[in-house]
Structure 1
Amino acid sequence: MASITANTKHKVRVPSTKKVVAGRSKAGAKKAVSKRGSIAPLMKPATLATPAKIEELNGLDQAEQRIQVTNMCRLAMGEQILIDRSKPHAASTTRDRIGAAADLATAAKELGIKFVLKECEVMDEMQRMLFPEGITKTFGNDDASVGGLKPSISAVSLASMGSCGTDEMTAFTERTTGTDSNRGKSTPANAREGSLLIIRAFCEIIGKPAEPYVVGAFIAAALDECGSNSNSVREAAEDTATALVKLSNPFVFTSLLSPLLLKAMKSSEWRVKVNALDRLAQCAETAPKQVCSALPALIPGVTGQVWDTKAQVNKAAGSCLMAICKTNPNPDVKPAIPAVVKAVCKPSETNKAVSELMSTTFVVTVDAPTLSMLCPVLSRALKEKLAIHKRAACIVINNMSKLVGSPEDVAPFGGLLVPELKKVASSVQFEEIRDEALKALASLTKALGDSYKQGDEDGAAEAARLEEEKAAVEAEQERIRQERDAEKAKEEAFRKKEEEEKRKYKEAMDAQRQLNKMAEEKAKKEKEEANKKKEAARLSTKAQGGKCQGCGLKKCKKTCPFKK
């Protein structure tokens, strides 16, 4: 039996507890709250959470409803309304603003979106908070012929700019603090966070009916606020941008989302870049066809972020590039998309990607999205040091160019591939590789067709130059064919001559072997005859008494020449 002494050690297993983050409840007391993950929780109303409260709101007259909506907007933007000044009140928290924003969206769902946003001037207040300089100055464009973002802003947002600036509801924001002065933001952080929360609440609670009112310039505001100094504003901006992209109609991607996201990728704030890349990857799920058609414009913008010095931007760009490239429905290149994306992000993987493309059999028509994915990798492969890698790229270009559907699809990439193919055709020392480059150049020139032709003199000169290059390529190919035919004829004559020489040499060697054999037999016969004569001469040296005539002994000495 074991004994227990003072030195006996006991082990007690302590149950693990879930790690929590300290927070504050609505009343301001300390409370353990779990830290939320990457997906924001659904917004729930604070006061309009029951049917009775909603019915009470509907029972008020229009003036009282307007007062209630105004108070909800103030609460959502960070102002605590004092019912009794003698009672102390806690500062506004993010939870309070979320509840007030959800209340405002619920009220808009019951009373009407136009009544809440327009007549109660909530839209004006949100625009004043998110666009301090005015939405016209931020997005306007006096000359519509040169493009710009003004046409992409919703008509409701533009129509609401006139009454912005002097109403009593906006007076409270001038007394608050917490601005991003270093980013040129003169409005308080709580108000900007509240505006973003209101937009998100409209997206989640109202849904599609709110799309014409919130989808527009507010997407640009949400992307820009991702670079705010305030953590709560950044979090609200990310959630709002996600909700807006999810709510947007797929057909607005080309005219609205794509320009805004590409512009956000050029921001100096790395968080704005990361969020723009994440939203573009989200668009690949919500609007895959529209993203696929816009790949020629999207891939250069995303590829430019792959080499960003910030690791977060680099990682987000790689994930975004993979997501948008997978929207391409071409079954021929779909298995090679991971290798192509990896080659774009890591140049050392270019040869592996080209090798995989080399084994691809192109059957489906090659369109502009497919070319936008493959041409940058093929152009880089043509610049490789080893000639074998250049040959593989030329073969892929040749096979790909034969199935180009329209000259307009390949025209933007002609300047990327044609000069490199010319360098390979003129500088590589191996004739076989030069021939492959000429074949690829001929196929690409044929695919380009008249896409370079313009109505002016420059276009005509460019077209004439292309025709001359095409004729030069055909002449060079004909010259190479004639040289190869002559070389083959020369090789055939040399082969026949060599075979004839081998035959004569074989006959001569056989005759020589026969002569050598005859000479050996003759020498052997002569040797046998000489031995016989020598033996006869030896025997003739003995006298009658049996003694040797040379040494005089019956048994010759070793020195006797007649000794056997």
Structure 2
Amino acid sequence: DVVHPEYFVREPATHALPKLLEASFPQLVPFILSDLFDIYTKNNKLPPPIVDQFGRQIQAQPVDTWEPRAGVADCLFHMASLVGNNIEDLFKFYVPTALNDRHADVRSDMLRAATSTIDIHGRDHLTMLLQIMEDFLKEAPKTADYDSVRQNVVILMGKLAKDMDKDSTKVKNILGQLISTLNTPSQQVQAAVADCLPPLVPAIKDEAGVYVQQLLNVLLKSEDYAEKKGAAYGLAGFIKGLGILAVKQYNVLTELTDAIQDKSNAKRREGALFGLEMLTSMLGRLFEVYIVNILPHLLLCFGDNDAKVRDAAEDCAKAIMSKLTSHGVKIVLPGLLKGLESDLWRTKCGAVELLGAMAHCAPKQLSTCLPSIVPKLIEVLTDSHQRVQKSGTQALKQIGSVIKNPEIQAIVPVLLDALQEPTKKTQASLQILIHTRFVHFIDAPSLALIIPVIERAFQNRSTETRKMAAQIIGNIYSLTDAKDLTPYLTSILPGLKTSLLDPVPEVRAVSAHALGSMVRAMGEEAFQEIVPWLMEHLVLESSPVDRSGAAQGLSEVIFGLGADRLEKSMKEIIERSQQMDLAAHVRDGYMMMFIYLPISFGEKFLPYVGRIIPPILKGLADETEFVRDTA
């Protein structure tokens, strides 16, 4: 199973085998390693070309069955903690064979396994491992065939160097090799080098300024994409090693800000954005304090004339948003929302696209910011400038792209249509939502697209549309986190209250049920005003329809709060329903509770049937006709 061609079979097997060895057969580790090496060697041979009956080659390139080799790499990664007594054999397998695999995914997996092994055992075998790698670098042919393994060996040496004496000349030599390796046109290699740099930087602290300036020069002046990306990774690695104060000490932000504003040189703007993206990615919340100063320039880059700058701005925005803390969201969001009020369409487009990039925030931040963002993006869809409209649509698509609920992910295009053309498409989207069988948890991005559609549906004149909106609300509340729903209560409740007082009984019934579901999911604390509002309408003189809707809603709310709440409420309801000194419409409202409470509670209401018969009989003899009708 470890070498099975299907990933879903290989993956659990590569976890299970090391666990089994650790728990029951640690003595077998050397034999298993030997078997894994043999399996790799066997599967590393390309099959001979396929030929026809006349010996002519049918297939130009034989198919490389790389999956078993990937299984070996994954297994070695999970065995890293068990191989302490077999380090030399293992690294003679990695260097030069496994780290020079012809398939990029296998090379990457082998590097991950070797790195993990060094992290665990490197300090104990430092001299021997360093010797293996130095011997290889001396003896390996200087040909392109060995470039991949050379780069990977330098990365491993960088990992080893963190355990070496910082004053050693070897550390400085390794650091120099790592910086040279940053030019490799492979993001995985560049990221791995950047990860090695922070622990080594203190070794050259006196020369750090020279290195930082060298990397900034490459980042802002080079014409080569891979070199610029590598310099961005290197710069971020250096700053992480030196500490966040180095950003100011070496004028890094000043240089990047000047470059991002250089209207005459797109390469400088692109390089500055690469640098900001990597600094954000590697420094995370430490870099957050600088983000507010960057945002105005980032907004302008979204409307840049150069497509490469626009792409770099988008990647930079995603990196920034993915690292924002809740405090960062509070700092950033007002500025972006203000950008939507700009008269300049390019600035407005930038603000919209950055708001869309907030879809890449952490889930906790998403649930707090999306309720503010999506209504603004919906407003943008009707902007007078076509490019701004297009940016709004794209931003909503970005929010749709991070939805984790598969049922809603499948209908995102339908929801987006409803947001863009509410008069034509709302009904159709509601029908699809009604017929969707929700199984998975409904996340914050899902709610951000569903709630505006429901909010508009409640404002629709059509009885059927309002009924569907109430049904959907009732359905989704049981599958949603209460804290994700709380921000939407103020927008949902007005429509739900209106539907609760609808002349059509069916709409009132569905709305009451939805209200009960909401109270059951979120608790009474979230609905401080709803019970007083229902009580007010329960005894409203002007309309029996309002009294009926309020009675139905109150019954469902009491059901949502449970049997204890029913017990506390029944005494007052029974007394008021037969209290002759109260106005007839007040008695009528309380009498209506006896219609809907049994419907809501079902058999749980049986203990109260005997207690409500006397007030009902009394109501049948009431002097007011509508009270008699209710009874």
TM class, shorter-length:
0.3 to 0.5
Larger helix proportion of the pair: 2
After TM superposition, the score normalised by the length of structure 1 is: 0.47
Greater relative contact order, per chain length (Cα 8 Å cut-off, separation 6+): 1
Larger Rg: 1
After TM superposition, the score normalised by the length of structure 2 is: 0.43
